[in-house]
């Protein structure tokens, strides 16, 4: 069963690197993503796929590309306010 969640990554980010990294990891993990926001301090994506693969995507992006530093990760499975923060 597929799941849809919003994931957020905050820190000191290079937007083009983070979005490219996210798209590459999404293809490798066979999850669908939609980039909702990308800036120097936050990347927000909607992710749809198998729950375990979404978890793997979240872990991969929390490490980020070499030129970005992710300091906090949050997940919202209800598409409402930012529910679950990790950091």
Which tens digit of pLDDT belongs to each residue from 38-86? Answer: 999 999 999 999 999 999 999 999 999 999 999 999 999 764 444 444 4
The CATH class for the domain spanning 3-81 reads: alpha beta
* 45 Cβ contact partners less than 8 Å away, ≥ 6 residues apart: 6, 7, 22, 33, 34, 35, 36
Is residue 23's pLDDT more than 80? yes
**pLDDT for the residue numbered 81:** 41
- Mean pLDDT computed over 4-27: 97
**pLDDT for the residue numbered 84:** 46
**pLDDT for the residue numbered 78:** 66
**pLDDT for the residue numbered 77:** 79
Q: pTM, whole model, 2 decimals?
A: 0.85
Q: Is the Cα torsion angle 71, 37, 65, 29 positive or negative in sign?
A: positive
């Amino acid at each position: 069963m597929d799941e849809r969640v919003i994931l957020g990554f905050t820190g000191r980010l290079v937007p083009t690197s983070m979005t490219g990294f996210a798209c590459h990891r999404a293809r490798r993990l066979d999850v669908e993503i939609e980039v909702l926001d990308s800036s120097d301090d936050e990347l927000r994506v909607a992710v749809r796929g198998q729950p375990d693969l979404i978890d793997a995507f979240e872990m991969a992006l929390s490490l980020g590309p070499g030129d970005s530093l992710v300091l906090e990760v949050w997940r919202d499975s209800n598409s409402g306010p930012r529910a679950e923060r990790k950091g």
